[in-house]
């Protein structure tokens, strides 16, 4: 029998059906259901399959009040379990009010005529997360989804937003607020005003599809028995941009910002690890001819990890990447690549 990742807790939010039907995004429900299945699988991530460790909100259940209530549940679980590893995952729309610079996650019960009062503001979301006293907290936001399954810009179906609102991933200012404190890691599915694309078969978002692959070991080396932050970053940083370009002819680059050790987020294949052939099969949409890449973008952005070993690290404009065993501190630089192999140079356009 496989061991359990007994200190793992997760809140998975996939809004899906909106009370305002035009804003519904059904693929987000598929995202969270697939992620839940991977996390509780005794042969994969090994989270205990009970409501004391993992909870899912989608469709009519994904209301603003319910999201806040479940974040309080996570706070209570972390208070009881000092070894808690906590994942908060949100898949749905994320909109920025340009008139106030406030960011909102859009729950099921949003009121189109009053988004500021009915949506989940970044302020309330951040305050709830700060109450979770865990040294290992991973927040994953797969927001700003593309509507439909376009393979070209011309056949993409757009949704109409209220005046002053635009689709956007989490702004850098909010990421900085979210990561305040120890043990915080923030992952977003895209950057700038990029969209988070859906796979052409409508099965999953591109980001979540590759997140599932990473949780199964696509970013791991043979012999490793847990999935760490660095494993997720290594794989997602390479696979997501490649898939978005190949499937949707679009740019989508994940963003990672951490201020913590390179902690474990799950067991790997029930704690058994993966073989070379198993790992390569999981990387079906990536090129295995180069080492995994961690990509970090955005002016002044940082990524820190406990031990990101045997990987290329690519940074853009004024980014800094710190590695565990061999720490590198760079005051100010641009287009710096560090790794055991020659890294591909990227410019932040």
Query: What residue ranges do the domains of the chain occupy?
Result: 8-289, 292-349
Given pLDDT bands bounded at 50, 70 and 90, which one contains residue 280? confident
Q: CA end-to-end span of the chain, whole Å?
A: 50
Mean pLDDT on 254-268: 92
- 288-346 tens-digit pLDDT: 333 333 333 333 333 433 333 333 333 333 333 433 433 333 344 434 333 334 333 33
Residue 1 has pLDDT above 70, yes or no: no
Answer yes or no: are the C-beta atoms of 131 and 69 closer than 8 Å: no
Nearest to 93 by CA among 158, 176, 172, 173: 158
d(CA 11, CA 22): 26
Which numeric CATH code is attached to 8-289?
3.40.50.1460
Residues 6+ apart with CB under 8 A from 94: 103, 104, 105, 106, 141, 143, 144, 167, 168, 169, 170
- 152-208 tens-digit pLDDT: 223 345 677 888 888 877 777 778 877 777 789 999 999 877 888 999 988 899 999
Instruction: Report the SS3 class of residue 296.
Output: strand
Instruction: Report the SS3 class of residue 318.
Output: coil
d(CA 3, CA 232): 21
């Amino acid at each position: 029998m496989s061991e359990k990742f007994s200190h793992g807790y997760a809140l998975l939010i996939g809004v899906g059906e909106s009370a305002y039907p035009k804003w519904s995004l059904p693929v987000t429900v598929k995202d969270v259901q697939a992620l839940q299945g991977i996390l509780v699988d005794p042969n994969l991530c090994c989270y205990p399959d009970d409501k004391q460790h993992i909870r899912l909100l989608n469709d009519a259940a994904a209301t603003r009040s319910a999201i806040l209530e479940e974040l309080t549940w996570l706070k209570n679980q972390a208070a009881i379990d000092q070894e808690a590893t906590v994942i908060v995952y949100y898949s749905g729309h994320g909109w920025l009010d340009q008139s106030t610079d406030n960011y909102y996650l859009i729950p099921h019960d949003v009121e189109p005529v009053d988004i500021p009062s009915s949506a989940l503001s970044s302020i309330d979301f951040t305050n709830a997360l700060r109450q979770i006293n865990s040294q290992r907290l991973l927040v994953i936001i797969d927001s700003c989804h593309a509507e439909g399954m376009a393979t070209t810009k011309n056949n993409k179906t757009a949704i109409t937003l209220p005046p002053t609102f635009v689709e956007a991933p989490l702004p850098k200012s909010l990421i900085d607020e979210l990561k305040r404190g120890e043990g915080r890691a923030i992952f977003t599915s895209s950057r700038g005003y990029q969209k988070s694309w859906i796979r052409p078969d409508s099965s999953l978002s591109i980001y979540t599809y590759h997140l599932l692959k990473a949780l199964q070991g696509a970013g791991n080396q043979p012999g490793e028995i847990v999935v760490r932050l660095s494993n997720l970053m290594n794989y997602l940083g390479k696979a997501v941009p490649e898939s978005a370009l190949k499937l949707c002819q679009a740019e989508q680059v994940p963003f990672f910002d951490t201020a913590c050790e390179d902690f474990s987020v799950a067991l790997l294949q029930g704690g058994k690890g993966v073989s070379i052939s198993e790992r390569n099969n999981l990387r079906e949409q990536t090129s295995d001819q180069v080492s995994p890449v961690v990509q970090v973008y955005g002016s002044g952005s940082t990524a820190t990890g406990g031990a990101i070993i045997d990987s290329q690290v690519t940074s853009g404009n004024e980014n800094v990447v710190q590695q565990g065993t061999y720490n590198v501190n760079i005051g100010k630089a641009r287009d710096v690549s560090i790794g055991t192999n020659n890294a591909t140079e990227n410019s932040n356009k």
